[in-house]
Amino acid sequence: MSITTSELLWAEKYRPKSLKEMVNQEDIVKRLMKFVEERNMPHVLFAGPPGTGKTTAALALAHDMYGEDWRRYVLELNASDERGIAVIRNKVKEFARSKLPGDIPFKIVILDEADNMTADAQQALRRIMEMFVETTRFILIANYASKIIDPIQSRCAAFRFTQLRKEDVVARLKWICEQEKVICYPDGLEAIYEISGGDLRKAINILQASASLGEVTVSNVYKVVGLAHPKEVREILNLAFASKFIEARDRLRDLMVTYGLSGIDILKQMHREIFSADLKIPEDMRIVIADNIGEIQFRLVEGADDEIQLTALLARLSLLGKKLQSKS
């Protein structure tokens, strides 16, 4: 079986299955291994930047706790995807109801992106955690511990995941390349690290896409990033600055529909573009525009409509563009 007929995403393929395989967050891993040894654990909170191993640690802990059959005793939920706390409560209730075999002390609920829950929902979550504490333990995962309400924090053992070191990320990428028998160059791997900002999952995704172009070279890495981050956003900005408002608006709509990007995604990309050297605008304009983008993002967080708000932003940029033109 020399030719592979199928591929998976490497981010998953090379995710450590067991705590023993984890090469980072040594202190945390050691503590988690103790839980496995004692066959007991409190509720825990994993907090830290994306791509630092929080979900991996949670899954690996469950794996080591229950063995190959672990999925039967683990409920994975993502707070961003579940519609409301009532849904979460029902799922947890349903999950907690079924009997445990004698040798299994408790089940585990992994709740990812818990910091996306409102304070009210977290209060309800706290009650759920208490209600089922006899039979279930919660692993809460969040980017920011500060966004988790105090009553929950005080009921959890908190683990702070730290940003991965550059050499660790690069070493991991290199190791994957060896497994996959892909030729990689050090500067290519470093470029991936820079682009991913230390987020290992993102880095592995870029690695895989670069490898799919042949070798992991700097130019392939940038080619991938160029393909992945549509030029549309820059083109929309350029149209707006050229005061071609209606065209810019129509392109924006295209982008939202064809790429399925949310308003916030687009705002974040715009923000990146505004500070890129390729965009030729007076330096002081960059911060004016950043302020405007921030205001629009705030409105979206308030519950406003993506398209209306982004169109209003484009109108503002078009006016700015017009003023710039008349000045020069």
133 contacts 96 by C-beta, under 8 angstroms: no
* Distance in Å, CB of 58 to other proteins, minimum: 8
Q: Degrees (nearest 5) of the Cα angle 262, 263, 265?
A: 65
- Told to check if 11 binds other proteins by CB under 8 A, we report yes
- Told to check if 316 binds other proteins by CB under 8 A, we report yes
Q: Which of 1, 83, 99, 277 binds other proteins (CB under 8 A)?
A: 1
Nearest residue (CB) to other proteins, 152 versus 266: 266
126 contacts 151 by C-beta, under 8 angstroms: yes
Stretch that binds other proteins, among 33-41, 119-127, 172-180, 209-217 (CB under 8 A): 209-217
Q: What is the dihedral of CA 50, 56, 62, 67, to 10 degrees?
A: 170
Give the separation between CA 257 and CA 298, rounded to whole angstroms: 22
15 SS3 class:
coil
How many Cβ atoms sit within 10 Å of the Cβ of residue 297? Answer: 18
- Give the side-chain half-sphere CA count within 13 A for 92: 30
Give the separation between CA 100 and CA 106, rounded to whole angstroms: 7
Q: Which of 69, 179, 262, 282 binds other proteins (CB under 8 A)?
A: 262
* Distance in Å, CB of 300 to other proteins, minimum: 8
Name the token pair of 320: 């700015």
Q: Which of 92, 96, 108, 209 binds other proteins (CB under 8 A)?
A: 209
Name the token pair of 121: 């929902």
Q: Which of 43, 201, 234, 251 binds other proteins (CB under 8 A)?
A: 201
Task: Fill in the amino acid letter for 67.
Answer: G
**In this structure, what DSSP letter does residue 183 have?**
-
* Distance in Å, CB of 110 to other proteins, minimum: 8
* Distance in Å, CB of 32 to other proteins, minimum: 17
Give the separation between CA 42 and CA 137, rounded to whole angstroms: 7
- Told to check if 308 binds other proteins by CB under 8 A, we report yes
Nearest residue (CB) to other proteins, 130 versus 214: 214
Q: Which of 120, 227, 282, 294 binds other proteins (CB under 8 A)?
A: 227
Residues contacting other proteins: total by CB under 8 A: 60
Residue 301 phi/psi, 5° resolution?
-60, -30
Judged by CB under 8 A, the chain residues 140 through 169 that form the site for other proteins are none
Residues of this chain that bind other proteins (CB under 8 A): 1, 4-9, 11-12, 55, 59, 76, 78-81, 112-113, 201-202, 205-206, 208-209, 212-213, 223-224, 227-230, 243, 245-246, 249-250, 253, 257-262, 265, 299, 302-305, 307-309, 311-312, 315-316, 318-319, 322
